[in-house]
Structure 1
Amino acid sequence: MVLPGGKVLSRRRSRLWHLSNLRMLPFTAALRRQGFEAVQVRYRTRGWNGAEQSPVADARQALNRITASDPGATVVLLGHSMGGRVAAALLSDGLSGDAAIAGVVALAPWWPAGTSLELDQGTRLLVIHGTADRWTDPAASQSTVEMAQRSGADAEWIGVEGAGHFMLSRPRCWHRLAIIAVSGMARGVTELKQGERR
């Protein structure tokens, strides 16, 4: 399930041609070429909107549709920026056990201070973050991963040297790492090999 980014505050309708949605289409297409039934979520509104957490309800509905049509489905969440926060919210709802979420791949996630990741045993986390990101904080995402590791979670953080938030620098690296990670999680492979990180 592909979770695009968005805005901190916006109740404007989300459109397919918004950059946050367009940015994730190549990931969705690449996963489909690999044989996965990739579903890219389109939120009703563009913003997170504080306590409303507007996109989380849309993501829950998409997840429910997947598991209703295939109760044995293994789901991997691939989220960019705000999409990473949506993934964290789904995990904290306790949905990982119910929906067989095998893993989360978070690309430059927007995880403000206090964001928690409640990973069930067997749910893997990989964060890929550009070290030059000025929109979301790579140090914060690394700290969140380290906290998850200390609690015993299967979690890893990979920095893309010199890359910013929008994945325009070294795009092949972002795509390769994300597709390898999603494929591995869906198939039960627990880690990236050293050569795949470069």
Structure 2
Amino acid sequence: MAQQATPVRRARLGRALGPEPTAVSGVALLLPGGDEISGRRPSPLLATASVRAWGRRLARAGRDEGLATHVVHYRYRGWNGSEARLARDAEWAADEALRRYGDVPVCLAGVDMGGRAALRAAGHEAVNSVLAIAPWLPADDLAAPPEPVRQLAGRRVLIVHGTNDGRSDPELSFRLAARAKKANRDVCRFEVHSDGHGLHHYREEVAALVQDFVLGALFGQAFARPLEDALAAPPPLGLRMPLAVGFGKTLR
């Protein structure tokens, strides 16, 4: 009996969240979390749960602007060292957005390991902005090169991290932001005080921040005052900006 070839795993874009606009003028690609090492296929529902809620909010808020919002489904759950599989899938997704919608700006928006993928894949020609929420980053290691930041040049970059995150170290995202800020002034980072990895205590405020950043970066809308202040502030202030409890009330 002839052996059947093992099917090749492929990344894919989920269906557009919410009603897809008639004319697409910007794309938000949502990158779920993952594992440091794993060869397993992600569970479709569990893997995307962390990004779907604010993805649906983005889709509603940006529909009139022509925003298409998609969740990226990875080939594997693991980053897997130098293979950087999640970042490669993010790059593929940006290519796919260009194929589907033409020459439109793309925002890579990820949580946890998806935040690392968004930051790493930012050099793609279509990407104009990057959002990393509680990004998982490797610990500093003198024997290994630091996480790259040159690909962030020319992009708007927002990092959001809870100060009590027990899974991904907020100090590591501060250090990365500090290095990136030296070459790109459009980098800011908000700290959510006393919140953990899932940012559950200030979920509404984080969602408002996400909405304001993505719509502003993709469509040139004026940012709300907290984001304007954070982008304009020099380090370290602009990289340790506290997330105001009333942020959601300051939006237009």
1:104 pairs, out of 112, 130, 140, with: 130
CA contact (8 A) 1:6 1:81 kept: yes
| Corresponding residue of 2:60 | 33
**1:161 corresponds to 2:189:** no
Whether the 8 Å contact between 1:119 and 1:153 is mirrored in structure 2 is no
Unaligned runs of 5+ in 2: 1-28, 141-145, 229-242, 245-252
Where does structure 1 differ by over 2 angstroms across 4 or more consecutive aligned residues? 188-192, 194-197
Partner residue, 2:100? 69
Q: 1:125 to 1:190 in 2, by over 3 A?
A: farther
Which stretch has the larger CA shift, 151-160 or 112-121? Answer: 112-121
Q: What is the Cα deviation at residue 167 of structure 1?
A: 2.2
Paired with 2:189 and 2:223, the residues of 1 have a C-alpha distance of 11
Matches within 5 A, 1:42-121: 42-91=73-122, 94-95=123-124, 98-99=125-126, 101-112=127-138, 113=140, 114-117=146-149, 118-121=151-154
Tell me which of 51, 54, 63 is aligned to 1:24. Answer: 51
TM-score normalised by the chain length of structure 1: 0.89
Q: Are 2:179 and 1:147 equivalent residues in the alignment?
A: yes
Whole-Å separation in 2 of the counterparts to 1:195 and 1:23:
23
Residue identity opposite 2:32 in structure 1: P
List gaps (5 residues or longer) in structure 1.
none
The CA RMSD measured in Å over matched residues stands at 1.8
Deviation at 1:175, TM superposition (A): 1.1
**What are the Cα deviations for residues 83-137 of structure 1, in whole angstroms up to 9, with x where unaligned?**
111112212xx31xx21x121111011122311222232x110101001111111
- Determine if contact 2:33/2:110 at 8 Å carries over to the other structure: yes
Cα pair 2:134 2:161 within 8 Å, conserved: yes
**Residue identity (%):** 30
Structure 2 length as normaliser, TM-score?
A: 0.71
Whole-angstrom distance in 2 between the partners of 1:103 and 1:73:
12
Shift of 1:189: 4.7
Maintained 8 Å contact 1:124/1:190: no
SS of aligned partner of 1:51: helix
Over residues 4-46 of structure 1, what are the superposed CA-to-partner deviations in whole Å (9 max), with x where a residue is unaligned? 111111111112222x411111121111111120111011211
Write the letter of the residue equivalent to 1:120.
A
